[in-house]
Structure 1
Amino acid sequence: MNNLWKQIAVAASAALVLAACGNVSRNVAKDGGSAAELVWPAPDSVTPMHKGGTFPSLANLRQVRAGLGKPQISDLIGYPHFSEGLWGVREWNYVFNFRKPGSDEVTVCQYKVLFDENSVARSFYWKPASCAAWLDEPKPAPPAAPAQRRFTLSGDALFAFGKADITPDGRQALAALAARLNEHAEQVGSIRISGYTDRLGTTAGNRSLSERRAQAVADMLVADGVPRSKIRTEGRGESDPVKDCPNGPHAQLVACLAPNRRVEVRVEP
């Protein structure tokens, strides 16, 4: 009886070895870095418990690398899906399924790990090779475009009254605006800078002042890294007032008209 069981065990082992022969690569190098011929088992010949393949954790797959032992590999992606043999196994094969985000589309890939003579993982292969792209880290989402497409800057904050020279406080405000525009540079197609004045003074004088102020803002943005090729300037003078004020004492009228003294920066994608 004992001899019978021994014969059955030997026969079973031989069957497993013969089955494995069709699943393993030819002449795996001692260092596990290559094989004379990579052999890919038929996907439908997986062991019963792996029928249809598995959906691996991408986070775990990305941690698989040369230098890991079999216990570490199995902890990350499980044991092989095929019967590669019982002794001296130098490769593990898998069938992995990947679902395209946001859809039911599934891609089936085969994955192979080759080990050196000490059972340390050394090289890795995909079939088809394009499946390796599933391991690419997801690209970060592009930074959101500026929520505000029009920036209104107070003329009194940027310039002294009746002047076109930018004040120190104005320089800080424009530096912050330039930093924001540079951060979203790929989403900024063009920038139109429009200068406005109040109604005090002559029409020609106001037009000239508004043009010089718009140009001064443009020059400051360019100095802070914004491409000049994207910028257009215009002086609108006293047109398009945002506040109407009745005539009165000069100081009060100047204060009331302050919102009209402004520079608008319009950003187009």
Structure 2
Amino acid sequence: MKNQMNSFCARALPLAMAACLAFALGGCASPSHTISPKAQANAARENPPAPKDEDFPALDSAKWSQGTFPSIEALRAMRTGMGKDQVRELLSWPHFSEGLGGVREWNYIFHFRTGKGAEYVTCQYMVRFNKDVLTHGMYWKGPNCAGLLNPPAAAMVPAVVPAPAPVPVPSPAARHMSLGADGLFRFDGSGLNDILPQGRSKVEALAADIKRNFKALKSLQITAHTDRLGSDAYNQGLSMARARTIRELLVQQGIDRGAIGVAGMGEREPVVDCPGLRSTPALIGCLQPNRRFNIEISE
């Protein structure tokens, strides 16, 4: 009898350990809950502060220290309001030991070829999730890495950003202006911390031109537009958040807040129509004119 019990325990212990391991792994890889348009819209409105460089984990603390060479197309497909399953499908698992449950941050090590043999540059990328376990912020460590997704084709080397082209000086008769959204904000960003250096320069130049050419400003209406990629609720929230941020930056430059109105139109008023459903570089480039700010001034 004793030998039978010993034999049973010898067989049961590995099975119990395997069951515990399967449970732990299942907890990591279990599917996320259904994503609702309301939850996506909430994620787009949250606009949390961006992390500082020191908030990124040290490279030598990575579990998968080799990193990966990501798809530029996959990175461009990242959006606020995505679940962990969707992020994992695009970018795979994070490269650091993030924990088993309740994880609100994933960190990656990404490499990009320079075009010079086997040479490459290394960047760190952070994805943060809100209380609904939806993305509400994607961040790069350092400004050079943040610019990799802006060109219409996959950029291999972070280029020095040229000085922004001067905003055309509006004459008193010019009441309508348009400002392209590309190059103003970091990819998928909408807050003051998400404005790129060249975008801030453009808005500051716009404010200077308004003060110089419209002495008796009565009203300034900012209407933000997006392309059709993403859900209606997400695009509506993103456009409104970006319009408010442009207003805040203009106020910082001395424009009267009481004279500025904002509106977000989302994807409802496109100026170009492009075929295709998948978020490819060609489609993103074709839809660029739809990502814009219309500005109407009255005095």
TM-score bucket of the superposed structures, by smaller chain: 0.3 to 0.5
What TM-score, normalized to structure 2? 0.40
Higher Rg: 1
What TM-score, normalized to structure 1? 0.45
Larger RCO, structures 1/2 (Cα 8 Å, 6+ apart): 2
